[in-house]
Structure 1
Amino acid sequence: MARIPLGPPILRVGQPAPDFTLPDAKGTPVALASFRGRTPVVVVFYRGYW
């Protein structure tokens, strides 16, 4: 049986995050790379609206 990858590899503490782009609260695309070297970044994923 072939192995099917379940997702990207798990990051370890201190390991840089891979670049990705997601919409902000207003729908504007924001790339993680645009913050690199400028400021610490906190990424929060909301499961829904409440």
Structure 2
Amino acid sequence: MLAAGATGEIIKVAIHTEANVPVYIVDFGEALLIGCLEEEITVL
């Protein structure tokens, strides 16, 4: 997918209903949208 440390922009937050955890939709550019879990995101 992407190398660790890739920079993106959070564009939407959703909730996984069965696990009750937030899923962040992150735009990494060039039409590449990836769903990330909270522990996979670092704020700069």
For the pair shown, the structure with the greater C-alpha radius of gyration is 1
The reply to whether TM is greater than 0.5 is: no
- Could you tell me the TM-score, scaled by structure 2's length? 0.29
State the structure with bigger RCO (CA 8 A, min sep 6), 1 or 2: 2
